[in-house]
């Protein structure tokens, strides 16, 4: 994964290298800079760039850089040589030149060629790939190899693995601070949600490679759910502005569920999803229907409060037709600046089944539900409190307990997605 730029300079060219690094700091800061000892020390101090320092040239720093070229992690090498006054102890370019020739890595030896190489690098897109190795049921090593093979001819990829011990939001922020053209989330809806939250209200686009169980976000936006076509969508470069929401401050790209949805998601744990895939949610839902416990809810929006007895409340920013509990309007619009609220007031298992059937039919025919036990609302902001307190699921993960305050941020997220989506085709029918 060629995401590094290597810098080497003979003693008589170190001043030129520092000036070069200062001039092209904006481009170099987007890459991982490696340099031989003294050269790296000066660049870091005088050009204010973060540099990984190898050994000095006489001690084998150039050989260490050659090894990085062989690994495939170096996008370009700048080796400013002194053709007239090179010292005997300084590294010879011949070995590094041979390695760069063999591995097809550009090597610049003077300021003119160095400028040409950096200018060309500036045209390439730099992307950060947030990769969740435990998502889905595929082989993560094979998936990552395929993704890299498909994307790297056009995008310089920095791969970041998700880790339960590391804050993913901070990892996204670090990628933004380093400078990136796009951030790609490769995982399930939970991973996509966190990455999207870090990109909300920025101009950096989100790419999505679905590797989860339901992949509801990808389906809602018409992003292909197989790796090859998802990568092709990213490479196509078409972007869409969509809404994003915040639930008690947490980013939400899909929906928040209270009652039925939260309990269903809790039943469909990781082990069940690993064994059954999407069927895990269907099984959990069937188990949940007979055990719905109604609760009192206070729903406040537009400075008006309504009391209701319910077993399920869903507040959706975006949702595919398979997210049945969000289908009060038959289709969730993800770029209208509004949240779709669906409330079920069913009081018995039979009524719950009838209400679910009505919502499923609404999604199929793309028309609002007229079922007596279904209340549907659209609003920019909503606050929900319950008695007793209820679990809340946000974008497929248990988030906490009520009360919740949810607000829609109109067109707050840029996503790499097909210009024609499932929602568009339904709306045009």
Whether 62 is a known active-site residue: answer yes
Nearest to 148 by CA among 137, 161, 138, 158: 158
Residue 223 three-state SS: coil
Note the residue count of the chain.
Answer: 429
Residue 5 three-state SS: strand
CA–CA separation, 206 vs 224, rounded Å? 15
Write down the residue that tokens 């320092």 correspond to. Answer: 53
- Which residue ranges make up the annotated binding site for substrate? 10, 14, 36-39, 56-57, 89
CA–CA separation, 129 vs 75, rounded Å? 17
What DSSP element (H or E) covers 272?
A: helix 270-276
CA–CA separation, 217 vs 332, rounded Å? 12
Contact 17, 39 (CB under 8 A): yes
Contact 108, 138 (CB under 8 A): no
Nearest to 294 by CA among 257, 258, 342, 347: 347
CA–CA separation, 415 vs 394, rounded Å? 20
Contact 194, 396 (CB under 8 A): no
Q: Which two tokens stand for residue 402?
A: 């009520």
DSSP-assigned beta bridge partners for residue 377: 341
- Which residue ranges make up the annotated binding site? 10, 14, 36-39, 56-57, 89
In three-state form (DSSP H/G/I as H, E/B as E, the rest C), the secondary structure along 122-171 is HHCEEEEEEECCCCCCCCHHHHHHHHHHHHCCCEEEEEEECCCCCCHHHH
Residue 411 three-state SS: strand
**15, 16, 62, 428: the active-site residue:** 62
CA–CA separation, 281 vs 213, rounded Å? 9
Query: DSSP state, 213?
Result: S
Contact 183, 199 (CB under 8 A): yes
Distance of CA 374 to the CA centre of its chain: 34
> Catalytic residues, which ones?
62
């Amino acid at each position: 994964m060629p995401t590094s730029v290597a810098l080497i300079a003979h003693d008589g060219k170190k001043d030129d290298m520092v000036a070069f690094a200062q001039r092209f700091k904006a481009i170099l800061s987007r890459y991982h800079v490696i340099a031989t000892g003294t050269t790296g020390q000066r660049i870091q101090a005088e050009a204010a760039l973060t540099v990984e320092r190898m050994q000095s040239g006489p001690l084998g720093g150039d050989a260490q850089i050659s090894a990085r070229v062989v690994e495939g992690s170096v996008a370009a090498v700048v080796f400013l040589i002194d053709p007239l006054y090179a010292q005997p102890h300084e590294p010879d370019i011949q070995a590094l030149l041979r390695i760069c020739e063999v591995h097809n890595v550009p090597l610049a030896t003077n300021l003119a060629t160095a400028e040409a190489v950096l200018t060309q690098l500036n045209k390439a897109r730099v992307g950060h790939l947030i990769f969740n190795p435990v998502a889905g049921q595929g082989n993560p090593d094979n998936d990552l190899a395929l993704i890299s093979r498909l994307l790297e001819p056009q995008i310089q990829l920095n791969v970041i693995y998700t880790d339960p011990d590391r804050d993913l939001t901070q990892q996204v922020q670090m990628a933004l601070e380093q400078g990136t053209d796009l951030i790609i989330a490769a995982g399930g809806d939970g991973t996509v949600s966190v990455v999207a939250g870090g990109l909300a209200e920025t101009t950096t686009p989100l790419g999505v490679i679905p590797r989860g169980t339901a992949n509801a976000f990808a389906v809602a936006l018409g992003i292909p759910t197989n790796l090859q076509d998802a990568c092709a969508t990213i490479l196509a470069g078409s972007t869409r502005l969509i809404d994003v929401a915040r639930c008690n401050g947490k980013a939400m790209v899909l929906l928040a569920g209270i009652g039925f949805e939260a309990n269903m998601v809790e039943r469909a744990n990781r082990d069940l999803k690993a064994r059954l895939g999407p069927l895990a949610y269907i099984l959990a839902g069937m188990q949940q229907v007979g055990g719905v416990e109604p609760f009192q809810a206070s729903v406040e929006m537009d400075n008006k409060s309504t009391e209701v007895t319910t077993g399920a409340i869903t507040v959706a920013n975006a949702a595919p037709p398979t997210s049945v509990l969000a289908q009060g309007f038959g289709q969730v619009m993800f770029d209208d600046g509004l949240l779709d609220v669906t409330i079920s007031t069913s009081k018995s298992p039979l009524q719950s089944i009838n209400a679910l059937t009505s919502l499923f039919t609404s999604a199929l025919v793309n028309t609002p539900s007229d079922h007596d036990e279904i209340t549907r609302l659209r609003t920019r902001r909503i606050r929900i409190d319950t008695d007793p307190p209820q679990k809340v699921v946000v974008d497929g993960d248990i988030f906490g307990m009520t009360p919740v305050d949810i607000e829609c941020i109109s067109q707050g997220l840029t996503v790499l997605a097909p210009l024609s989506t499932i929602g568009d085709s339904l709306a045009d029918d």
